[in-house]
Amino acid sequence: MAEALATPLIPADYLDLFDPMREGADLRGRIVAITPQTRDAATVTIQPGRGWRGYEPGQYIRIGIDVNGVRQWRAYSVCDSTGIPGTKDATISITVKAIPDGVVSNHLVHRTQPGCVVMLDQATGEFVLPRTAPEKVLFITAGSGITPVMGMLRSREDLTDVAHVHCAPTAADVIFAKELRGYGENGRTAYIERHDDEHGMLDLADLDRLVPDWRERDTWVCGPTGLLDAAEAHWEAHGLTDRLTVERFRPTIIEPGEGGEITFLSSDVTVEADGATPILDAGENAGVLMPSGCRMGICMGCIVTMRQGAIRDLRTGEITVAEPGDNLSVQTCVNAVAGTCDIEL
């Protein structure tokens, strides 16, 4: 009877209006505070619904927020949490840096107000510390890449020997500046801060001077693609790849294709995309809920099925064609459309 009265909605839709955070509902969160960090970055504190299961420091969550009538999903590292998961006092924090033309980041930093309800996914990701803390740790971070490492520093009191090199364009652009410098002053970390305008871009060869024992340390690196590429090459050159963990947000794009039309079969959405835009981004920009995790180091989390069409690998330029019935598995973070393609999520 309730379903008949609610048509074309269902009873749960009406319950969502009164208690969107209730047990059993799709996981949501209510923004309770937005705290500026720099001129273009802010910490967003969220009270998650009662289905929230908690997180491991270094992990990320996906947030869905409506911007101009379109639901957009983005992934952000959790940099702090308080309270017991599932209680009314539990909160989590993410820190967002507004990037040029960033639809969601600019909305969260500059336009969102406390009280806004957002969609949430449970925390996931492998950019984490082992259960038993390493004897010696090195963090290398740049820009907003500080956020997952901040979650580790705030949560893991068992880290006893930490060297930390953090880079930012200027001193004014350092997110969590007071807290990071405080860790260095009180001996919590051996903290080194580098500013591009003063010191130039970080050259990893300088680690021999900045952190002389870096070879003896288990290392976590998070920041722009250039830093990650350089770190992987540097550690490989020294035969130390097993001591390095990176948080890779974006694939390296080598060659754009011609672009074309992408049809997302399950959502009945068709979009035009250029040859330099990953299918993952094209879908999210159109409001399609795309499976992912790639931006936060979870490889193969964005695989979908291509029913037919053509795509180009953004790393190699290689074209892959699927005829009807081929049903090829496709990584959406490193492939762009090259003509047309039909995608099943």
Inside any domain, residue 127:
no
Distance CA 214, CA 204 (A): 10
Q: Are residue 10 and residue 116 in the same domain, yes or no?
A: yes
Q: Are residue 303 and residue 215 in the same domain, yes or no?
A: no
Q: What is the largest CA-CA distance in the chain?
A: 74
Q: Work out how many domains the chain is built from and give that number.
A: 3
Element (H, E) at 343: strand 335-344
Report pLDDT digits (tens) over 48-59.
998 999 999 999
pLDDT above 90 for 18: no
Q: Are residue 207 and residue 296 in the same domain, yes or no?
A: no
Contact 303, 242 (CB under 8 A): no
pLDDT above 50 for 253: no
Lowest mean pLDDT among 4-13, 111-120, 186-195, 237-246: 4-13
Looking at residue 249, what is its pLDDT?
Answer: 53
Lowest mean pLDDT among 142-151, 283-292, 298-307: 298-307
Contact 260, 272 (CB under 8 A): yes
Q: Which among 120, 154, 179 is the end of a domain? A: 120
Q: Which among 92, 120, 148 is the end of a domain? A: 120
pLDDT above 80 for 221: yes
What is the overall mean pLDDT for the chain? 87
Report pLDDT digits (tens) over 92-148.
999 999 988 788 899 999 999 999 999 998 998 889 999 999 999 999 999 999 999
Q: Are residue 311 and residue 283 in the same domain, yes or no?
A: yes
- Higher confidence at residue 176 or residue 6? 176
CATH number, domain with residue 62: 2.40.30.10
CATH number, domain with residue 316: 3.10.20.30
Inside any domain, residue 311:
yes
pLDDT above 90 for 16: no
Looking at residue 109, what is its pLDDT?
Answer: 95
For the chain, what is the radius of gyration of the CA atoms?
22
Looking at residue 43, what is its pLDDT?
Answer: 97
Percentage with pLDDT > 90 across the chain = 59
Looking at residue 244, what is its pLDDT?
Answer: 97
Q: Is the pTM of this model over 0.75?
A: no
pLDDT above 60 for 5: no
DSSP state of 25: S
The band of 150, judged by pLDDT with boundaries at 50, 70 and 90, is: very high
Report pLDDT digits (tens) over 177-203.
999 999 999 999 999 999 999 999 999
Task: Give the list of residues 6+ apart from residue 256 with CB closer than 8 angstroms, or none.
Answer: 274, 275, 276, 312, 314, 336
Q: Are residue 204 and residue 160 in the same domain, yes or no?
A: yes
Section 162-172 average pLDDT: 97
- Higher confidence at residue 211 or residue 345? 211
Distance CA 161, CA 185 (A): 14
**157: domain range?**
137-247
Inside any domain, residue 128:
no
Inside any domain, residue 131:
no
Measured CA angle at 277 (ends 276, 281), to 5 deg: 165
Looking at residue 255, what is its pLDDT?
Answer: 45
Q: Are residue 76 and residue 50 in the same domain, yes or no?
A: yes
Nearest CA to 233 out of 251, 246, 223, 217 is that of: 246
Q: Are residue 150 and residue 114 in the same domain, yes or no?
A: no
Q: Which among 247, 273, 292 is the end of a domain? A: 247
The band of 236, judged by pLDDT with boundaries at 50, 70 and 90, is: very high
pLDDT above 60 for 24: no
The band of 267, judged by pLDDT with boundaries at 50, 70 and 90, is: confident
Q: Are residue 86 and residue 155 in the same domain, yes or no?
A: no
Section 275-290 average pLDDT: 90
Report pLDDT digits (tens) over 64-102.
888 876 677 788 999 999 888 878 789 999 999 998 878
